[in-house]
Amino acid sequence: MSKLANRVALVTGGAQGIGAAIADGLAAAGATVVVGDLYPSPTHESLTLDVSNEESVGAAIAEIVAKHGRLDIIVNNAGIMFEESVADHDRSTWDRMLAINLTGPMLVTKHASAHLAANETGGSIVNVGSIEGDRCNPHHSAYAATKSGVHGLTRATAIDLGPMNIRCNAVAPGWIDTPLNASYVDSHPDREMVIDELAKLHPIGRVGAPSDVADVVVWLAGDESRFVTGQVVTIDGGRTVRPPLPGILS
């Protein structure tokens, strides 16, 4: 595949999990991929990036453009998640979640926009949101608030940067089989029962794989989605379109 040949992509938080799958997918489509993360990628060109620090963001983007001569695609994937009731929130943990999950995408977009606009084909930004941007699990108030903010930022960015020939979309993954989620499942006394029950939540009959998200991101990054902007694409195997029923009825 060479759909993204001659294009340079930055994937934040791309050293592992969904971000690593996105980096692999973009590279397979022909893009030159740079992973910006606090940790190095084992398979792609990497640079140290703290998305919550504007100086770090500016320096990373300047380094990419200096080395590769252009920047075409941004995937704002870096994020964190922890569980804490809103009644017990410590201000420092709230601020950290906000800084990484929401302020980070804004800073990367801000510093990348002029470079994206300079390309003959324009640019594409893909933000990684979550189904929790619209719905929420217990003790996820900070996470849900930031992901809802990512969805709003996506729409606002599409409006502001559309005249510069820059598109901005988001993906909203559901339950994806990442190392983080796998460790959560593994901690349960009956792991197989948890896997079975998770699969039953999805009309498609399984949880998602990182590549399921990556394939949609690659499409949004390329020309095949050239008239798509300001959209949040849900990737959840149909989980959120089916209202839950009591166990005795389901």
The residues assigned a catalytic role are: 143
Burial of 23 (0-12, 13-18, 19+ CB in 10 A): buried
Q: Going by C-beta distance under 8 Å and a sequence separation of 6 or more, which residues neighbour residue 87? A: none
Residues 41, 34: Cα–Cα separation, whole Å: 9
Q: 133: closest CA among 4, 233, 19? A: 233
For CA atoms 143, 80, 192, 216, the dihedral sign is: positive
Q: How far apart are CA 109 and CA 74, in angstroms?
A: 8
**β-sheet with 123-128: strand ranges across:** 45-48, 32-37, 8-12, 73-76, 123-128, 166-173, 232-235
- Which helix (H) or strand (E) segment holds residue 166: the answer is strand 166-173
Picking from 144, 121, 112, the residue whose alpha carbon sits closest to that of residue 131 is: 144
Q: Could you tell me if 176 and 212 are in contact, meaning their C-beta atoms sit under 8 angstroms apart?
A: yes
- Residues 203 and 15: their CA atoms lie apart, in Å, by 31
